[in-house]
Amino acid sequence: MHIIDKTNVIIQYQDPLVAVGLLSTLSQRPEFLVSLMDDSDACLSVNLSRTPGCDAAVIVADYDSAMELLMANPDSLSTRKPVPLNVLIVTWRNTEAEIRAALDAGARGYVIGNCALCEIVNAVQSISRGSRYLGRDVAERIADSLTHTPLTSREIQVLQLMASGCPNKTIAARLNIALGTVKTHTKSILGKLHSTSRTHAALIAQQRGLLTGNCKTAHAAARGVAASTPVLSLSLVHSRQQPDLRYR
């Protein structure tokens, strides 16, 4: 008799309707043992170690829950040897900065919320086998971002103040730097963003998520990783199936 090796799948999602939908979808697969968790602490303390008969857990989470899990210190939550988190993010956040912050923090997979149901199943399967998974839209966004010259942390600070309408003198005062330095940073920002004006630069930055508070470089800095680190070694796995049912 053939025994199916099961993967322990944990759903950690703030939206209860989405959580139930994920639970229903993934529970249909015989190779998954799916459970639903209400808070990240319970998820970490109960399920990070291997469940008998199951592979290491794959955690399917929304963006905020995933980042909390990834940024937490496993040593403070358990006396056991830390187990690497296999986190798949299912979210509607699709800016370059948000995706990069999640990948830099250690997410193993990232798909956009309107993907096909089969793509979520494929993502969990790939991650359980030790691979990474990026949804098609996410992979395209990351590929596009590789052509961008990253801004320095100081340039991002200047850009944020520029976007809020601050003139150069105000930016210099707030950052305690010389006016000439602000002008140098501004010129560099316009060049890196291929923008023609300060307003154009702010618009491009907004579209790329560079002004979003939720994806500050602190996510990556806390792990000692530069937020601009390119993701070059990802295994992109995509389904060619065309399902009738879409994940919403």
- Mean pLDDT within 100-129: 92
- pLDDT number for residue 141: 84
- pLDDT number for residue 77: 41
Q: What letters, b where the CB count within 10 A reaches 16 and e where it falls short, cover 218-238?
A: ebbeeeebebbeebeebebbe
Indicate the average pLDDT of the chain. 77
The tens digit of pLDDT for each residue in 46-98 reads: 445 444 444 568 999 999 999 998 988 454 444 444 556 899 999 999 888 88
- pLDDT number for residue 230: 33
Domain ranges within the chain, ordered by starting residue: 6-145, 153-209
- pLDDT number for residue 33: 93
- pLDDT number for residue 121: 94
- pLDDT number for residue 83: 54
6-145 is classed CATH 3.40.50.2300 = yes
The tens digit of pLDDT for each residue in 154-201 reads: 999 999 999 999 999 999 999 999 999 999 999 999 998 888 899 999
The domain 153-209 is classified under which CATH number: 1.10.10.10, 3.10.20.30, 2.30.42.10, 3.40.50.10140? 1.10.10.10
User: Can you list the pairs that 162-169 forms with residues at least 24 positions away whose Cβ atoms lie under 8 Å?
Assistant: 162/186, 162/189, 162/198, 162/201, 162/202, 163/201, 163/202, 163/205, 163/206, 163/211
Res. 37: pLDDT tops 90? no
- pLDDT number for residue 62: 95
Q: What letters, b where the CB count within 10 A reaches 16 and e where it falls short, cover 12-51?
A: bbeeeebbebbbebbeebebbbbbbbeebeebbeebbeeb
Please state whether the predicted TM-score (pTM) of the whole model is above 0.85.
Answer: no
Weakest-pLDDT range from 22-31, 33-42, 145-154, 212-221: 212-221
Res. 245: pLDDT tops 90? no
Question: 72 near 47, Cβ under 8 Å?
Answer: no
- pLDDT number for residue 212: 65
* 3-state secondary structure at position 73: coil
Distance CA 171, CA 112 (A): 36
The tens digit of pLDDT for each residue in 201-240 reads: 988 888 888 886 544 443 333 333 333 333 322 333 333 3
* Dihedral over alpha carbons 125, 126, 127, 128 (to 10 degrees): 50
- pLDDT number for residue 232: 28
